[in-house]
Every structure is written in structure tokens, then in C-alpha cells.
Amino acid sequence: MIRKFPYFVLGIPITLIATYGIFSILANRNQLSQLIVFIGLFALGMGLNVWGVRAKEIKRPEFQAGIVNLNGERKLHELEY
């Protein structure tokens, strides 16, 4: 069974790992190429966090069976005689 995680659940660990990598590289003053990779991972993690929060805020209306009039009003299983 494939379970779909929200994007911010994936973004938080990526951001934390990238932050640790950036601080360790800056403390040791080495490997500019690794620093660039960790900055890219940090940007990816933050992007996933923002995307996840936006996706969480947008709630789709629940489906309601019925007929929508031209006025935009919804009739729910009403029979007219």
C-alpha cells in the first residue's frame, strides 16, 4: 500500500539535514561544492514546506449530489410536481 505524505512532512527532515550540513561545512571551512548542494537541499526543503502548508490551507468543498441551477443554487434531490 502506497501512503502519500503531505509535502511539509517530507520538507521538515530535508530542511533539518540541510541546515546541519550547511553549519558543519561553514564551521570546517571546506568544500564549496558540498555547500552548494546543501543550500540546494535547504531550498528544496523550504519549498516543500511552503507547498505543503498551502495545500493544507486549501480545502476542497465536499461533493454534494444534486443539480446546480443557472443561478448557482443547488437542489438536493427535490422533486417538483
Phi-psi region of 3 (alpha: psi -120 to 50; beta: other; left: phi over 0): beta
The domain locations on the chain are: 1-58
**Which pLDDT score is estimated for 51?**
84
Is residue 1 over pLDDT 70? no
**Which pLDDT score is estimated for 7?**
78
**Which pLDDT score is estimated for 43?**
93
Is residue 3 over pLDDT 80? no
User: Tens of pLDDT along 15-57?
Assistant: 989 998 888 888 888 788 888 889 999 999 999 888 887 776 6
Between helix 7-28 and helix 32-57 the angle, nearest 10°, is 160
